[in-house]
Amino acid sequence: MNATETGVTKANGAGARARPRLAVFKFASCDGCQLSLLDAEDELLAVTDAVELAYFVEASRHADPGPYDVALVEGSISTPEQIRQIKEVRRQARLLIAIGACATAGGIQALRNWRDVDDTVRMVYAHPEYIETLDTSSPISDHVQVDFELRGCPINKYQLLEVVTALLVGRQLRLPTYSVCVECKRHGVTCVMVAQGIACMGPATQAGCGAICPAYGRGCYGCYGPMEAPNGPALGHQFEQLGLDAPDIVRLFRSFNGYADPFRLISDKYEEVAR
């Protein structure tokens, strides 16, 4: 299990507790994960009571320097400057938690990793000469030690609440690593793959979203990335049985978390087939 002991301060009855200092940083990303943190409307006051929001520019102009007890890091590493910045964040943070598909797998922008980066830059920017970029968009863990990862595109507020409570109580962080199927079955959602023949990434994808898409009759898009023991080849084979051709299968595995190894290997394999 990828869990970590947090233990910044122990809960000791009703006594006063030191408020852990929390910082939120952004790299190459859409800000959606940070917005999900702010989405914890009902709990936000309790959260700000319990932790000190020392650095969170999306929420407050107030920005305190480190060191921090916890740094939540959104976004992938996409430029040379970001490599320097993430190393500095790491130096300032006791615990570094990568949040969202960009920070944990490179994000949707990692689609460029399969192309020539200069081509991509010329395609997107009117003045490519102003753009300084790396060849790839890569997860935080490719560059510095990451203590824990919150998955999702975007993450949801329950993960933040779990981080904060675990931190305050000083216990293990517990988030599911099993498949989305567990959530479908718990919620009584009838399997879209079995009952409708819809290709669904759920069996290979980590739970945590509450199985939103299958509940609305859609196949899972894989927002939470590979589950603990993904069997991509077997799922790919089942997609073939459902009548999908190789390019369709490439697209399913190659999305927000497409650059995560277990998904990347499958999309690469089907791309070979498609050629």
Partner 1 sequence: MPDLTPNIGAFASIAKEDLARVFQVLQEMGYTLLGPTRGETAIVYDEIESVGDLPIGWGDEQEAASYRLRQRDDNAYFGYTLAPQSWKRFLYPPVQKLFTLTVQDGTFEIDGNAAPAPRYALIGVRACELRAIAIQDRVFLSGNFHVPDYRARRQQAFVLAVNCTEPGNTCFCASMGAGPRVGPGFDLALTELDEIFVVEVGSELGRQVLGQTPWRPAGAFELQNARRALAEAEQHMGRQMDTSDLPDLLYRNLEHRHWDEVAQRCLSCTNCTQVCPTCFCCDVLDQPDLTGQRTDRVRVWDSCFSLAFSHVHGGNIRPHTRSRYRQWLTHKLASWIDQFGSSGCVGCGRCITWCPVGIDITAEVAAIRAEV
Interface with partner 1 includes 18 (CB under 8 A)?
no
Cα 28 from Cα 138, distance rounded (Å): 10
User: HEC string of 17-62?
Assistant: CCCCEEEEEECECCCHHHHHHHCCHHHHHHHHHHCEEEECCCCCCC
Which of 79, 85, 113, 238 touches partner 1 by CB under 8 A?
Answer: 238
Which of 86, 99, 146, 168 touches partner 1 by CB under 8 A?
Answer: 168
Backbone φ, ψ for residue 188 (5° rounding)? 75, 25
- Binding segment for partner 1 (CB under 8 A), chosen from 120-128, 148-156, 166-174, 250-258, is 166-174
| DSSP one-letter code for 64 | -
Cα 247 from Cα 240, distance rounded (Å): 11
Residues 46-85, mask of contacts with partner 1 (x by CB under 8 A)? xx-xx-----------------------------------
Element (H, E) at 97: strand 93-99
Which of the residues 178 through 237 are near partner 1 (CB under 8 A)?
178-179, 181-182, 185-188, 190-197, 200, 202-204, 217, 228-231, 233-235, 237
CB–CB of 204/179 below 8 Å?
yes
Q: Residue 40 contacts by C-beta under 8 Å, 6 or more apart in sequence?
A: 47, 157, 160, 161
If the CB atoms of residues 65 and 188 are measured against partner 1, the closer one turns out to be 188
- Binding segment for partner 1 (CB under 8 A), chosen from 70-78, 109-117, 159-167, 249-257, is 159-167
Residue ranges that bind partner 1, judged by CB under 8 A: 1, 11, 13-14, 17, 43, 46-47, 49-50, 161, 164-165, 168-169, 174, 177-179, 181-182, 185-188, 190-197, 200, 202-204, 217, 228-231, 233-235, 237-238, 241
